[in-house]
C-alpha cells in the first residue's frame, strides 16, 4: 500500500484527505441524531422518486395501449 502511495502523489493526497475527513467525522457524527428537516427532506425525496417512477410507468402504459 505504501508503494502505491509513493508512486501516485494524487492517490496519496486523496488518501490523506479521506483520513482527515474520517477523523473529523468521528468527532461530530451527523447521522447520530438527524434533525427533523433532514428526515423531511429524505421522505420528500423518496416520494418524488416514487412519483416520477410511477408516472413514467403510467405514461408508458398509456402510450402503448391500443384504442
pLDDT of amino acid 30: 61
Inter-residue contact 5 to 11 (CB < 8 Å): yes
pLDDT of amino acid 63: 94
SS3 65: coil
The torsion defined by the Cα of 14, 19, 20 and 22, in degrees rounded to 10, comes to: 120
Inter-residue contact 4 to 11 (CB < 8 Å): yes
- Flag whether pLDDT at 66 surpasses 70: yes
Higher pLDDT pick, 23 / 54: 54
pLDDT tens digit string along 2-51?
Answer: 565 556 777 777 777 777 766 665 556 666 667 888 889 999 999 999 99
- Flag whether pLDDT at 56 surpasses 80: yes
Amino acid at each position: 500500500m505504501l508503494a502505491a502511495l509513493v508512486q501516485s502523489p494524487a492517490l496519496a493526497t486523496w488518501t490523506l484527505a479521506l483520513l482527515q475527513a474520517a477523523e473529523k467525522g468521528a468527532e461530530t457524527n451527523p447521522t447520530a441524531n438527524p434533525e427533523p428537516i433532514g428526515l423531511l427532506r429524505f421522505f420528500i425525496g423518496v416520494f418524488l422518486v416514487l412519483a416520477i417512477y410511477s408516472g413514467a410507468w403510467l405514461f408508458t402504459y398509456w402510450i402503448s395501449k391500443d384504442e
